[in-house]
């Protein structure tokens, strides 16, 4: 049987920010694949490296940031081996990104229609203006915004509508991969929920892959078939979305994040945060970087970094687990 090619493949990817204190290891030898039509979540506390990884995939790192090792392939193509012209064609046509803030992603002096038409015609110059106009209307239908809003400027739209427009622009060229970096964080819970439902519906209709970044575990586990959990620049676990509950065995950091989700149905809501703070990424703790905060820490954890154990589509990086245990929980 022919092997299915991943849409996104990260192999041993590290990203560092050069600072006067030394390199900040924001992404540390990460391996991750996203398969066609798959939604993969990426969660972790603030500062764990999620956005840095997203920018690295899009080859949008700037200034003091750079990929220091590893390879990033999208549809089998090495993103860092491409000349700028090929990269320009690749972005938006094959891979697109929805950024955290819709306001900064949209141009304040262009109407919604102009923004969509511009994106379409810059990346598909052969498309006629009439065709682009028709597509702009269809795209608003897709994200459930009335067509009369085509004439609106971003400041005339609610936050939820602006974020829907950004989603419409990201999927305008029917890319194979869309990276969504906290796309609903700035919105209230009801609007968040409706946008997520729409994202799911659009993904099911258009059939593309999503890397969905969030610090909100409950949201990601509902949406994603697999969830990658990031701590201090490393992916410490990749679990199936439907396995993410406190009754199952997980990485101690994952369990800490799960305990931090408020139980809405409980009478007495007790949220246990993870004690301690994320480490300094210039001077990572020896051994397992989570060891100063881990309630299950053992002697070996302080000196030996656990190797990732890969079992099928899941991964575990913790001395508490054997290959057999990871295989059994991932099967």
Minimum distance from residue 277 beta carbon to ligand SF4 (Å): 15
Q: Contact at 8 Å (CB) between 150 and 133?
A: no
Which of 12, 21, 60, 64 forms a contact with ligand ATP (CB under 6 A)? 64
Of the candidate spans 50-58, 128-136, 138-146, 296-304, the one that interacts with ligand ATP by CB under 6 A turns out to be: 50-58
Q: Which entry of ligand SF4, ligand ATP, none binds 82, CB below 5 to 8 A by partner kind?
A: none
DSSP letters, 6-49, are: PSEEEEEEEEEE--TT--EEEEEEEEEEE-TT-EEEEE-STTSS
Distance of CA 88 to the CA centre of its chain: 21
Of the candidate spans 16-24, 113-121, 167-175, 247-255, the one that interacts with ligand ATP by CB under 6 A turns out to be: 16-24
Contact call for residue 52 and ligand ATP (CB under 6 A): yes
Q: Which entry of ligand SF4, ligand ATP, none binds 281, CB below 5 to 8 A by partner kind?
A: ligand ATP
Contact call for residue 28 and ligand ATP (CB under 6 A): no
Q: Which entry of ligand ATP, ligand SF4, none binds 306, CB below 5 to 8 A by partner kind?
A: ligand SF4
Burial of 12 (0-12, 13-18, 19+ CB in 10 A): exposed
Minimum distance from residue 233 beta carbon to ligand ATP (Å): 7
Show the binding pattern over residues 192-221: x = contacts ligand ATP (CB under 6 A), - = does not: -----------------------x------
How far is Cα 179 from Cα 209, in angstroms, rounded to an integer? 8
Q: Which entry of ligand ATP, ligand SF4, none binds 215, CB below 5 to 8 A by partner kind?
A: ligand ATP
Contact call for residue 20 and ligand ATP (CB under 6 A): no
Q: Contact at 8 Å (CB) between 223 and 39?
A: yes
Of the candidate spans 45-53, 161-169, 264-272, 300-308, the one that interacts with ligand ATP by CB under 6 A turns out to be: 45-53
Q: Which entry of ligand SF4, ligand ATP, none binds 256, CB below 5 to 8 A by partner kind?
A: none
Which of 7, 8, 24, 179 forms a contact with ligand ATP (CB under 6 A)? 24
Token duo for residue 19: 């600072």
Cα-only R_g, the chain: 21
Contact call for residue 232 and ligand ATP (CB under 6 A): no
Token duo for residue 62: 């700037």
List contacts with ligand SF4 (CB under 6 A).
251-252, 288, 290-291, 294, 296-298, 301, 306, 318-320
- In 3D space, the residue among 277, 269, 232, 270 whose CA is nearest the CA of residue 251 turns out to be 232
Whichever of 68 and 327 has its CB closer to ligand ATP, that residue is 68
How far is Cα 48 from Cα 51, in angstroms, rounded to an integer? 9
**What are the C-alpha distances in Å from 194 to residues 166, 201, 289?**
15, 11, 37
Non-local (6+) Cβ contacts of 214 within 8 A are 41, 42, 43, 182, 185, 220
Helices and strands: H and E segment counts in the chain: 11, 12
Q: Which entry of ligand SF4, ligand ATP, none binds 319, CB below 5 to 8 A by partner kind?
A: ligand SF4
Which residues would be at the binding site for ligand ATP (CB under 6 A)?
A: 17, 19, 24, 26, 44, 46-52, 64, 215, 281
């Amino acid at each position: 049987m022919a092997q299915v090619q991943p849409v996104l493949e990260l192999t041993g990817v590290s990203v560092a920010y050069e600072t006067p204190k030394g390199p900040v290891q924001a992404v540390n030898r990460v391996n991750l694949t996203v398969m066609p039509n798959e939604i993969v979540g990426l969660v972790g506390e603030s500062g764990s490296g999620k956005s840095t990884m997203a920018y690295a995939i899009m080859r949008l790192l700037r200034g003091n940031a750079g990929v220091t090792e590893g390879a990033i392939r999208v549809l089998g193509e090495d993103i860092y081996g491409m000349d700028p012209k090929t990269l320009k064609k690749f972005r938006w046509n094959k891979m697109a990104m929805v950024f955290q803030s819709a306001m900064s992603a949209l141009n304040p002096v262009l109407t919604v229609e102009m923004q969509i038409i511009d994106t379409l015609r810059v990346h598909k110059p052969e498309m006629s203006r009439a065709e682009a106009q028709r597509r702009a209307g269809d795209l608003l239908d897709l994200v459930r915004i009335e067509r009369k809003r085509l004439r609106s400027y971003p400041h005339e739209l609610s936050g939820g509508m602006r974020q829907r427009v950004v989603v419409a622009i990201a999927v305008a060229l029917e890319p194979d991969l869309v990276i969504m970096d906290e796309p609903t964080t700035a919105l209230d819970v009801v609007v968040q929920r409706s946008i997520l439902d729409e994202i799911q519906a659009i993904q099911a209709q258009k059939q593309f892959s999503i890397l969905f970044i969030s610090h909100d575990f409950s949201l990601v586990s509902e949406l994603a078939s697999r969830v990658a959990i990031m701590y201090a620049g490393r992916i410490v676990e990749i679990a199936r979305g439907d396995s993410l509950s406190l009754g199952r065995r997980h990485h101690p950091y994952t369990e800490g994040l799960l305990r931090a989700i408020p139980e809405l149905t409980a009478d007495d809501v007790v949220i246990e945060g993870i004690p301690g703070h994320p480490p300094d990424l210039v001077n990572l703790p020896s051994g397992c970087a989570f060891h100063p905060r881990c309630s299950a820490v053992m002697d070996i954890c302080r000196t030996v970094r656990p190797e990732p154990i890969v079992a099928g589509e899941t991964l575990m990086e913790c001395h508490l687990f054997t290959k057999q245990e990871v295989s059994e929980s991932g099967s």
